[in-house]
Amino acid sequence: MVKRKKITNWQFQLMMVLTIVVWAMAFPFIRASLKGGLSFTSLTILRFLVVCVSFAIILLIKKDIFSKLQKRDILPIFFLGFFGVIVYHLGLNYGEQYISAGAASLIIATIPVFVLILAMVFLREKITLTQFFGVLLALSGVVVISIWGQENTVIDIKYIFAAFAVLVAAVMGAVYTVAGKKLLTRYNALSLTVYAMLLGSIGLLPFVNFSFIDEVSRISLNVWGAVIFLGVFSTVVGYVLWYKALEIRNASEISVYLYAIPVLSTIISYFMFDDKLTYMFVVGGALVILGLFLVNRKTLEKN
């Protein structure tokens, strides 16, 4: 058994703060990359190019921390990674062309709600009345944000469609969680995530063309900085720190920190892009967070 280095409580708290900050900053940095001239597909390709190179290096250096990839799992993990990771990011990146980083982060925050729904339907897991009410509240908040959360009082079809694309991304994130449960009996969580990202990224190859190369050749250093931050910090560092935290505390305990992500993303987005916080956006956001609390209340009370 491998001995793990013990860390103090303040070191753990610092690790969690860093994780939440780099994940929260991902949403405004995605927006910045898109505003800087990248299409949503090109941003996804570049981000995962950085991710794949980074994880490949880690795999070579730290082989002992990863479960061995089995041949029979290559295709299932490819599909898991393509839909649960790549399609997730394509939907999120497309959506942030038209909706704020704060709105996107709140919609993505509903992943636990869809995990609960999918687990109930496909895994026959029971849902309590409180959780059911939480699902309704969270989804109501998404509807409010998607239709009335924008600054413009006129309903914009592009805004609604973009919000729907981010909602699809949230569903894909939930699919990744539920579909990956069986594979987690053979792989540790970090290994499955890394393999899913590496194999799933192969699905981006058809999007690599002359148009993509031309687009990338014209972006500024600031955009490159944003892409590298998304790849190295928001993805690689964020996930490594998260799974390190899972080795120290249980999932339900550290999941509380996730509530801070949409709040922090909204604040950062406000200062970066001067995004206006409308009354209905605040109402929708409050509904989402309250719904998430009710969905996770049973788990949180165990701690």
Q: What are the tens digits of pLDDT across the range 203-222? A: 999 999 999 999 999 999 99
The whole-angstrom separation of Cα 144 and Cα 284 is: 5
Kindly provide the b/e burial profile for residues 265-291, where b requires at least 16 CB atoms within 10 angstroms of the residue's own CB: bbebbbeeeebebbeebebbbebbbbb
Residue 66 has what DSSP assignment?
S
pLDDT (0 to 100) of residue 270: 86
Scan for tokens 């704060």, then name that residue: 102
Q: Which residues of the chain have pLDDT under 70?
A: 1-5, 151-155, 251-252, 298-303
Structure tokens at 80: 């898991």
- Number of domains the chain contains: 1
Structure tokens at 21: 């900050």
Does residue 1 fall inside a structural domain? Answer: no
Rounded CA Rg of the chain: 19
Residue 154 has what DSSP assignment?
S
pLDDT (0 to 100) of residue 265: 92
Structure tokens at 199: 């194999």
Does residue 4 fall inside a structural domain? Answer: no
Which parts of the chain fold into alpha helices (H)? 9-35, 40-61, 74-81, 87-95, 101-108, 111-122, 129-148, 157-179, 189-200, 210-217, 221-228, 238-248, 251-254, 260-273, 279-301
pLDDT in tens, 62-93: 888 899 999 999 999 999 999 999 999 999 99
The candidate with the shortest Cα–Cα distance to 136, out of 290, 6, 27, is 290
pLDDT (0 to 100) of residue 5: 54
The candidate with the shortest Cα–Cα distance to 117, out of 103, 100, 138, is 138
CB neighbours of 153 closer than 8 A, spacing ≥ 6?
none
Domain housing 196: 9-301
How far CA 149 is from CA of 23, 104, 248, in Å, comes to 22, 11, 38
Does residue 219 fall inside a structural domain? Answer: yes
pLDDT (0 to 100) of residue 108: 95
